[in-house]
């Protein structure tokens, strides 16, 4: 485990089991009201870590660009799409049964 970066702060547990993250830590770590945190136990300690989720929009944009490049000039019918879906599902079922 890494060493402690700053002096500790005291947080008090409320009647509903809630604690307030000290303002200094919220500012330093850019924790706002909608920030997602991961909470887990490590021995007799509770560890709270900021959940870093990469922006999905950029990843999807890259994926769609790649698909567009691969299929440039091609048109796909609804029947072909449904066939691909069925084939995929059959393949997944076969893998589960194996």
Task: Check whether residue 49 and residue 66 sit in a common domain.
Answer: no
Could you give phi then psi for residue 14, rounded to 5 degrees? -80, 180
Query: Average pLDDT over the chain, rounded to whole?
Result: 86
Per-residue pLDDT of the chain (98 residues; tens, 9 = 90+): 556 677 888 999 999 999 999 999 999 999 999 999 999 999 999 999 999 877 777 777 887 888 888 878 778 788 888 888 899 899 888 887 76
Q: Does the pTM exceed 0.75?
A: no
Q: How many helices (H) and strands (E) does the chain have?
A: 3, 2
Sign of the CA dihedral with 60 first, then 61, 67, and 71 last: positive
First to last CA, the chain: 42
30 and 72 inside one domain: no
**E strand segments, the chain:** 37-42, 45-50
3 shares its domain with 41: yes
Q: Are residues 69 and 85 in the same domain?
A: yes
Give the pLDDT of residue 67: 80
DSSP state of 94: H
């Amino acid at each position: 485990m890494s060493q402690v970066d700053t002096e500790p702060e005291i947080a008090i547990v409320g009647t509903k089991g809630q604690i307030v993250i000290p303002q200094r830590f919220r500012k330093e770590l850019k924790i706002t009201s909608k920030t997602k945190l991961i909470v887990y136990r490590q021995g007799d300690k509770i560890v709270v870590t900021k959940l870093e989720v990469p922006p999905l929009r950029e990843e999807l944009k890259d994926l769609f660009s790649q698909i567009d490049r691969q299929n440039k000039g091609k048109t796909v019918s609804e029947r072909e799409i449904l066939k691909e879906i069925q084939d995929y599902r059959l393949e997944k079922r076969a893998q589960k049964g194996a």
